[in-house]
Structure 1
């Protein structure tokens, strides 16, 4: 094993663009240690409007042509290659490896019967051959299927980064990412990898953004300004929190299949039935995101970090685009601090919020390139730790 400069490429469920993290990743200094990760630079680039529209249409499509999907796969490959090339130029480095998560257009982590057999399925688009050819470096892509094949959910995959970079001997840490979906990793103080717990909490930005698009023709609620003018329908929030996904035990994962257009239509209809204004819908969606995360922490994590290290403080470290929503952050902070957690931003630990998931896929690519497992079975539910991804040589 040797040190490599790796580009991690991430496109999240919000489908707002591409994040590239350029990292230097080196082997552990001692046996039993974890890889050393240094972030050299981060570049975020928004999708062109037409490309974002195509991605969102593919995610929620009841019917779409095979030709459209094939073309989108190749177009995304070109986009990813272009952004990595721009990041190389900006930071004055040449990468030796790329780890590309791709754009999820379908994710079904739990087995459902299909053509007579229980089946799991996931699909992340973005043609790796295009990236490898444009950049002339190997690309590791398609990380999730190996975990699914071993009985896992295929998500979350970021916990391996959380453990390598952010575990602590002195404090218990809960790492929360506020993307389209919220995902949480809890690492008790002095814990090994087997003591980690991680799962998707439900919607973070996804429902808020979709309601803003429908009601205001805006991509998102900047700093929570619209939600601040509305009233929260607590009865609707509490009713939704009793639904199956929120009460299901981890490991669990979700996406637009659970909280996409069908859910949003039902959610808006529930609000309309209660006689709301548009701003009340946004306020209620924001409250739902905060309450679902707080409930997940209370039910599944609080006892875990407290019992494992009763004398250590708990730090709740938040990353992702949702950190820019001041109202969402204030609601979350109030709930979590009431349970004794200290809320911090990811930047305080040296990693920009928007870069974190891209850094994770740089690490996962490095692990795969060196034949090392990248999933955490305690988080995904897989039967074993596995080397993830498929390699395309440049």
Structure 2
């Protein structure tokens, strides 16, 4: 196949539902493998009414078909506006858009419905609107093809992790902390087929819900509130008994596991310990750190061949100083050098958007974009659907 260099806008809005990241990358084949150069990156907050609509629809027990249809189209408008603003600001012409969409529901494990058991997922954001507004084809709806191949539809970012960060001499762990936290672990010199990738559990999700509920803030900026509290170790220990943490990879999680209901039960557990609101945030931050560290210890460390390990953090959690300190205190004794992805030349908020730009490039060239070792799929799969302008 004739692989072509393309300039691709990747669009990502994660489980935190705080806004949209756009990364424009140049992807060119070098010896049959994609080489990625970041050209531009911008972040856009969701307008308050749109964020409220997204949060209300996520894992909702009841809503209406009209609400879901309107939200799907409203998100398409928002994604198109974000891409056009980024293109205009940086004066870059793009060839293709890869849009992840906003996950409204993700059920990675088969469950009973209408007489049979199956897994399912749904990412909203009307691709036809994005294509019409930007004037270029759009690749969207990436996760279903992996699930149809027996995978969990997540994580998909390991493809980018391997392309950008695999190293012959050092082990690398790419830890993304968005609403949900996920890692990609690559032993020194390993192939993509040998990597390990999975969702470790809550990232910013529980912290954000509690910051909103207790302090009327959308999130705990820099972990400043958590830094004033004390960690309720007993609550963390009880929380770590959740069945999700014991599951072996591949595995994926979302608001279905760690959303509003989970955060409410966590708050109640903290209050039974006569805690202050600051203690609650400190304990939620410790839960994220501890679930990450124990996932690494249990499922990753033994496979890293005793080589030096770079533990590279991205996502919004990389800007939480208290969380980063907790991670460093626990991971450095295990032989890890904890750092952020910025030190490797990629903005933390751009990584996942760049990943879906890469996946769009792969789909455009009819190449598989999943990593079966990460998702549990039985085979490589070409991901997504192409909508033409």
Give the TM-score band, short-chain normalised.
over 0.9
Q: Say whether the 8 Å CA contact 1:160–1:374 is kept in structure 2.
A: yes
Counterpart pick for 2:366 among 364, 371, 374: 371
**Alpha-carbon shift at residue 60 of structure 1 (Å):** 3.7
**Alpha-carbon shift at residue 323 of structure 1 (Å):** 1.1
Give the structure 1 partner of residue 179 of structure 2. Answer: 180
Establish whether residue 9 from structure 1 lines up as the match of residue 24 from structure 2. no
**More moved, 136-145 vs 111-120:** 111-120
Q: After superposition, give the CA deviation of every residue in 1:247-294 in whole Å (9 maximum; x if it has no partner).
A: 100000001000001101111111111221111111110000000000
Cα separation, 2, equivalents of 1:30 and 1:218 = 49
Establish whether residue 319 from structure 1 lines up as the match of residue 314 from structure 2. yes
Cα separation, 1, equivalents of 2:338 and 2:283 = 23
Give the structure 1 partner of residue 260 of structure 2. Answer: 261
Give the structure 1 partner of residue 295 of structure 2. Answer: 296
Secondary structure, counterpart of 2:9 in structure 1: strand
Q: After superposition, give the CA deviation of every residue in 1:194-251 in whole Å (9 maximum; x if it has no partner).
A: 1100000000100000001111111011111111111111111011112100010000
Cα separation, 2, equivalents of 1:87 and 1:266 = 40
Secondary structure, counterpart of 1:191 in structure 2: coil
**Alpha-carbon shift at residue 91 of structure 1 (Å):** 1.3
Establish whether residue 342 from structure 1 lines up as the match of residue 337 from structure 2. yes
Give the structure 2 partner of residue 19 of structure 1. Answer: 21
Give the structure 1 partner of residue 35 of structure 2. Answer: 36
Secondary structure, counterpart of 1:137 in structure 2: coil
Secondary structure, counterpart of 1:168 in structure 2: coil
Count of residues in Structure 1 that have an aligned counterpart in Structure 2? 387
Secondary structure, counterpart of 2:152 in structure 1: coil
1:81-160 aligned at under 5 Å gives the runs 81-160=80-159
Cα separation, 1, equivalents of 2:343 and 2:322 = 20
Cα separation, 2, equivalents of 1:129 and 1:305 = 44
Secondary structure, counterpart of 2:101 in structure 1: strand
Unaligned runs of 5+ in 1: none
Cα separation, 2, equivalents of 1:223 and 1:175 = 21
CA RMSD of aligned residues (A): 0.8
Cα separation, 2, equivalents of 1:280 and 1:313 = 35
Establish whether residue 213 from structure 1 lines up as the match of residue 208 from structure 2. no
Q: Say whether the 8 Å CA contact 1:60–1:261 is kept in structure 2.
A: no
Moved over 6 A (4+): none
Cα separation, 2, equivalents of 1:318 and 1:228 = 20
Q: Say whether the 8 Å CA contact 1:7–1:84 is kept in structure 2.
A: yes
Cα separation, 2, equivalents of 1:60 and 1:109 = 13
Cα separation, 1, equivalents of 2:338 and 2:385 = 37
Unaligned runs of 5+ in 2: none
1:235-314 aligned at under 5 Å gives the runs 235-306=234-305, 310=306, 312-314=307-309
